[in-house]
Structure 1
Amino acid sequence: MQAESHPLLAVTTLTQEERVAKEDYEQLTEFGRDFRTIPAGVHDVHANLSIGNLGFEEYAAWAHDDPEGMYRSF
């Protein structure tokens, strides 16, 4: 919380046993089981995961591509 952007940690709670296929779990966790987001990004993540518009892996990939490793909202 000392960083200027006050990043929050988003973590997937799914385990490999909960996935239908091992390949699905590997895709979900390709960029890790967690990512950081700025507080303004929490609403985007929650809303889109709730309606199934975007997946956890997409947010993790965007955070992975960011120079500071954070999802920064749309």
Structure 2
Amino acid sequence: MSKITGKLQLVIVDQPASIGALRLLGRSAWYAPGFLRKFHGRFGLSEGGPAPAPASPVESQYVKDSTGV
């Protein structure tokens, strides 16, 4: 019975508390040694992946310009 109680405590109390603490601390919750920070900065590695390309405005063929043509 104690194994079930321990797992239940893990799911109900420990996991949400640790996730909340990580969200409150933000980037300061993560630690990397100096050589890893340099390595990641040099080669452009990140956990978030590449940034999305900015959207370009799409011109519709049905929109008329200011001259009405």
Structure holding more strand per residue: 1
- State the structure with more CA Rg: 2
Could you say which TM-score interval applies, normalised by the shorter chain?
Answer: under 0.3
TM-score (norm 2): 0.23
The one of the two structures with greater contact order (alpha-carbon pairs below 8 A, sep at least 6) is 1
More helix by share: 2
